Amino acid sequence: MSTDKVYNSIEEVLDIAESAEGKTVGEFDINNRLDSRGNKGGIGQVLEEGLFKMAVNSRAEADFVDLGLELKVTAIKENKKNDFSAKERLVLNIINYEEDYKDSFEESSFWQKNKKLLIIFYLYKDEIDKKDFPIIKSVLHNFDPVDLEIIKQDWQTIIDKIKAGEAHNISEGDTMYLAACTKGANAKSIRKQPFSNIPAKQRAFSLKSSYMSAFARRVIDRQLIPSLFNVDELKSKTTLQLLQERFAPYIGKRVSEIAKLVDIPVTKNKAFNANLISAVLGVKGTKLESLREFSKANIKFKTIRLELLEFQRNTCPLNK
pLDDT at 226: 72
Nearest to 206 by CA among 175, 182, 181: 181
Q: How many CA atoms lie within 13 A of 63 on its CB side?
A: 27
Rounded to an integer, the average pLDDT of 19-26 is 95
Give how far Cα 102 sits from Cα of 98, 99, 105, 182, 211, Å. 8, 6, 10, 21, 27
pLDDT at 278: 83
Q: What is the largest CA-CA distance in the chain?
A: 87
- Residue 134 DSSP one-character state: B
pLDDT in tens, 213-270: 989 988 887 766 677 888 888 888 888 898 889 889 998 888 899 999 989 888 888 7
Please tell me which residue, 277 or 106, carries the higher pLDDT value: 106
Distance, in Å, from the CA atom of 27 to the CA atom of 30, rounded to the nearest integer, reads: 8
Nearest to 138 by CA among 51, 15, 8: 15
Share of the chain above pLDDT 90, in %: 53
Q: In the chain, where does DSSP find H-type helix?
A: 10-18, 42-50, 109-114, 145-163, 209-220, 231-236, 239-247, 255-262, 272-280, 292-295
pLDDT band for position 59 (cuts 50, 70, 90): low
pLDDT band for position 313 (cuts 50, 70, 90): very low
Q: What angle do CA 205, 211, 216 make, to 5 degrees?
A: 120
pLDDT at 39: 58
Q: What is the mean pLDDT of the chain?
A: 86
Please tell me which residue, 280 or 309, carries the higher pLDDT value: 280
Please tell me which residue, 63 or 124, carries the higher pLDDT value: 124
Please tell me which residue, 245 or 274, carries the higher pLDDT value: 245
* Least confident window among 55-64, 111-120, 237-246, 308-317: 308-317
